[in-house]
Amino acid sequence: MANSIFEEKLGSNDFIVTTEVGPPKSVDVSEMVHHIELLKDKVDAINITDHQSSVMRFPSIGGCLVVKELGGEPILQMTCRDRNRLALEAELLLAYSRGITNVLCLTGDSVDVGDHKEAKPVFDLDSVQLLKMIRTLESGTDMGGNELKAVPHFCIGATVHPEADFIEPQLIKFDKKVAAGAQFMQTQGIFDLASLRRFMQYASQFKIKILAGIIVLSSAGMARYMNNNVPGIIVSQAIIDELAAVEKGKGLQKGIEIAARMIKTIREENLCHGVHIMAVGNEKIVPDILEAAELVNA
């Protein structure tokens, strides 16, 4: 039996669409609620980010609870940056008890890229160890070897970076994540489909669902900023040029067009099993992308 609606979907042959919502730096969650309501019936699951880019916000677990309340399917993003193994385990118990059973396991960005640069980085575990730890909980014991009275079951995923400029060590890590039990992978932003094709030639030997990460850019400036400041992200020159060519104010429209075009190609050419759309702060345009990509009833 599947542990979640999303896991069931992963088991089908359907094209899978996920997206993400970033919680606010606020106790007013109305905008997040609005985004979740807007998206919950249009995608298969919604990731809630975990202090993305090491910027302190309303927590992922809190956002996931809201998704649940609104009848959506949440994916709990969990990084190892801020919690040691006790805190991670405890939060997983909380998540499961509230019906939050999809977990994306991440190492987490460095504290240095965020807005609390003086914080103590934890990293008691890394992403591979976090995946393993969840499988351990499911087998009935915590990391201390102590028995759990009732046992949780999760659908777990991780990330992979097909466009890393030094791919081999990333592929080794990918193998380890698969071996550790990852059932799905949401890739880092893809800006060049050739790299996705290459990656899939490698990844298709594994029984794991790959969702291509699509980052929606709103201007050439944003693309350059990401290249300089966001860990790992490398926006291709072709995309930057395309964004730079449009008149002022039309950047986001172009970004939507590019994202939709990529999604359409991925789906039509069956390049991988689905997409994960990251609109970084522009969640409200995700429906437009889905429409432009002809994925409205996904």
- The binding site for another protein (CB under 8 A) comprises 81, 85, 107-113, 121, 123-129, 132-133, 143, 159-161, 164-166, 168-170, 172-173, 175-176, 179-180, 188, 231-232, 234
Please report how close the Cβ of residue 174 comes to another protein at its closest, in angstroms.
Answer: 9
Please report how close the Cβ of residue 130 comes to another protein at its closest, in angstroms.
Answer: 9
Amino acid code (one letter) for 110: S
255, 218 contact by CB (below 8 A): yes
Q: Which residues contact 242 (CB under 8 A, 6 or more apart)?
A: 254, 258
Residue with Cβ nearer another protein (79 or 218): 79
Please report how close the Cβ of residue 5 comes to another protein at its closest, in angstroms.
Answer: 28
Residue with Cβ nearer another protein (111 or 277): 111
Please report how close the Cβ of residue 146 comes to another protein at its closest, in angstroms.
Answer: 16
Residue with Cβ nearer another protein (131 or 262): 131
CA dist., res. 274 & res. 267, Å (int): 7
Q: Locate tokens 């291509």: which residue?
A: 212
136, 142 contact by CB (below 8 A): yes
Burial 265-276 (b: 16+ CB within 10 A, else e): ebbeeebbbbbb
CA dist., res. 43 & res. 145, Å (int): 38
163, 191 contact by CB (below 8 A): yes
Q: Locate tokens 């709990």: which residue?
A: 76
Residue with Cβ nearer another protein (118 or 168): 168
Please report how close the Cβ of residue 119 comes to another protein at its closest, in angstroms.
Answer: 13
Residue with Cβ nearer another protein (111 or 263): 111
